[in-house]
Amino acid sequence: MSITETAIASAEAHSAHNYHPLPVVVASAEGAWMTDVEGRRYLDLLAGYSALNFGHGNRRLIDAAKAQLDRVTLTSRAFHHDRFAEFCAELAALCGMETVLPMNTGAEAVETAVKTARKWGYRVKGVPDGMAKIIVASDNFHGRTTTIVSFSTDPEARADFGPYTPGFEIVPYGDLTAMREAMTENTVAVLIEPIQGEAGVLVPPAGYLPGVRELTRERNVLFIADEIQSGLGRTGKTFALEHEGVVPDVYLLGKALGGGVVPVSAVVSSADVLGVFRPGEHGSTFGGNPLACAVALEVIAMLRTGEYQQRAAELGDHLHRELGLLTGGGAVEAVRGRGLWAGVDIAPALGTGRDISERLLEQGVLVKDTHGSTIRIAPPLVISKEDLDWGLDRLRAVLKG
C-alpha cells in the first residue's frame, strides 16, 4: 500500500464514517496550495467551505495567533479578557450593528439565533409562550445539530435523528408569496441563506431578498441572514446581502471569521434583539476566547480595507466568464454563483459530482461535489489569476474526458 492508502485505511479504522473524503492526505498548505504526504501539490478550490477565504497559513493570521498564544488563550466568560471588547466593537462596526454574541461553530451561531428569535418573540413581540414559529427555506443548510436537522429538507441529514424540534415552517427558497402565506402572528423570524451554498450555490431570483426584508419589516419579524458561508468577502462584498442593498436584523457569521485557524462564529444584531439574554441563559466555554478574538480581529482588519472583497469581485467575474463559456458545449449544464463562488452542474452523462472531483484530484485540483452532478468552486480569495486559470484548464481537460 502507498503512504496515502495506509493513512486512509488507518483513518477509516479509527474514525466514525460521517464523511467520505476524497482520497488525498494533506500534510501542509500555503496560500491556495496543499501538499500531500507524498509531496504532490494540489490547488485548493474549496477553501474549507469558505473558512479559508484568506488562504492557508496566512502570515497576518498566523502571526496574530502566535502572539496571542504567548499571552493568554482561554479565560472562559467567567472573567473578562483584554481582547473581548475590541473584538465585539470591531465586528459590530463591520456589520453596521451594535451587539455581538460570540460562539465557535456555525451551527452554534444558528442555534443561538433560534434561541434569540424565540426569546425576542416572547419578550418583545408578545407571542404566546411556546407558540413561536421560524420560517426557513427548502434545501437549506444551517448545520448538523438535532434542532437544525429538524428543519432540513435533505433526507440524508434528517433520517433517523428524530424526534424533531418543532416550531419551524419550511417554504420554497426564492418564493416570496409562499413566505407571506406562511407568516402568522406567531412568526418570530425568517432564517435564510442569501445564497444557498450546500444546495449548489443557488442565487435566489432578483428582488427576493429585498422582498423578504420588506415583508419581515412589515410583519415585525426578524430577518436572520445566515452569512456563515456567503459572508466575509466570498461574493465580492463583505456580505452577500449587500448585492441586493439589504440589511438584515441579524447576521450569522462563522467559517472565515476564524481565518481557517480557529473556529469562531457570532450572532450580530441590535442591542434590542441581543439584549433579550440575561446571565445564565446562554453561553459557551470557548465562545469569545482570547485566541479566537485575536485571530478574528485580524480577519476584521483585513476585511476593513475592502481589498479581499475587490479581489473576489474581479477574479469572480473572470471565473464566471470562463465557466460561462463551458455551458452550451454539452459538458456543463448550468453555472451559478457570485464572486469567487460557483456551483457547476456537470452533464450527468459525464459522471457524478464525486466522479468529477476524483478526476480533478488526479489532475492536482481539489473541489467538492454537492448533490448529484454538481461541483462547487470556492478558492481562497488570495488565489492568483494564473493559478485560477490553471485550475480552469484542468477542469476543461477533465470535462473533455
Active site members: 141, 226, 255
Classified as helix, coil or strand, 165 is coil
Q: How far apart are CA 294 and CA 194, in angstroms?
A: 28
143 lies in the site for ligand PLP, by CB under 6 A: yes
| Bridge partners, 196 (sequence order) | 202
- Do the Cβ atoms of 168 and 134 come closer than 8 Å? yes
Residue closest to ligand PLP, measured at CB? 106
> Is residue 193 part of the contact set for ligand PLP (CB under 6 A)?
yes
The C-alpha atoms of residue 81 and residue 294 are separated, in whole angstroms, by 11
Applying CB under 6 A, the span of 141-149, 159-167, 296-304, 315-323 interacting with ligand PLP comes to: 141-149
CB of 153 to ligand PLP, least distance (A): 14
List 228, 276, 366, 392, residue binding ligand PLP (CB under 6 A): 228
CB-CB contact of 133 with 200 (8 Å): no
Stretch that binds ligand PLP, among 138-146, 171-179, 202-210, 294-302 (CB under 6 A): 138-146
Please state whether beta strands 342-346 and 365-366 pair in parallel, antiparallel, or not at all (unpaired).
Answer: unpaired
Cell 433526507, located at residue: 155
Identify the residue among 56, 125, 133, 142 touching ligand PLP (CB under 6 A): 142
Residues 6+ apart with CB under 8 A from 380: 31, 32, 44, 47, 52, 53, 54, 55, 56
Least gap, CB of 48 to ligand PLP (angstroms): 10
List, in sequence order, every residue forming a beta bridge with 135; answer none if it has no partner. Answer: 169, 190
Determine contact, residues 188/223, Cβ cutoff 8 Å: no
- All three cell numbers of 388, joined, read 485560477
Contact 32, 40 (CB under 8 A): no
Q: Which is nearer to ligand PLP, 174 or 254 (CB)?
A: 254
Enter the DSSP assignment of 31.
B
Contact stretch for ligand PLP (CB under 6 A) within 140-148, 152-160, 231-239, 296-304: 140-148
Nearer residue to ligand PLP within complex by CB, 229 or 399 = 229
Residue 163: cis peptide before it, omega within 30 degrees of 0: yes
Other Cβ atoms less than 10 A from the Cβ of 328: the count is 9
106 binds ligand PLP (CB under 6 A): yes
Under the binding rule (CB under 6 A), the answer on residue 134 touching ligand PLP is no
Residue with cell string 493570521: 61
Which window, 88-96, 103-111, 200-208, 266-274, contacts ligand PLP (CB under 6 A)?
Answer: 103-111
Q: How far is the CB of 255 from ligand PLP (least distance, A)?
A: 6
Instruction: Tell me how far, at minimum, the Cβ of 252 lies from ligand PLP, in Å.
Output: 7
Q: Residue 325: what are its φ and ψ, rounded to 5°?
A: -70, -20
Q: Which is nearer to ligand PLP, 187 or 196 (CB)?
A: 196
Identify the residue among 197, 231, 236, 287 touching ligand PLP (CB under 6 A). 197
Residue 106: CB minimum distance to ligand PLP, A:
2
Residue of 254, 259, 316, 379 that binds ligand PLP (CB under 6 A): 254
Rounded (to 5) percent helix, strand, coil in the chain:
40, 20, 40
Question: Pattern 3-42, binding to ligand PLP, x per CB under 6 A?
Answer: ----------------------------------------
Q: What minimum distance in Å lies between the beta carbon of 98 and ligand PLP? A: 23
Cell readout for 150 is: 429538524
Residue 141 near ligand PLP by CB under 6 A: yes
Instruction: Determine contact, residues 222/249, Cβ cutoff 8 Å.
Output: yes
Count residues binding ligand PLP (CB under 6 A): 15
Place of cell 407558540: 131
Residue pair 23/4 in contact (Cβ under 8 Å)? The answer is yes
Q: Is 107 in the site for ligand PLP (CB under 6 A)?
A: yes
Q: Verify binding: residue 229, ligand PLP, rule CB under 6 A.
A: yes
Q: How far is the CB of 174 from ligand PLP (least distance, A)?
A: 16
How far apart are CB 141 and ligand PLP at their closest, in Å?
5
Give residues with Cβ within 8 angstroms of 225, minimum separation 6. Answer: 192, 193, 194, 239, 241, 246, 248, 250, 251, 252
Stretch binding ligand PLP (CB under 6 A), from 136-144, 156-164, 177-185, 202-210 = 136-144
Which chain residues interact with ligand PLP by CB under 6 A? 49, 105-107, 110, 141-143, 193, 197-198, 226, 228-229, 254
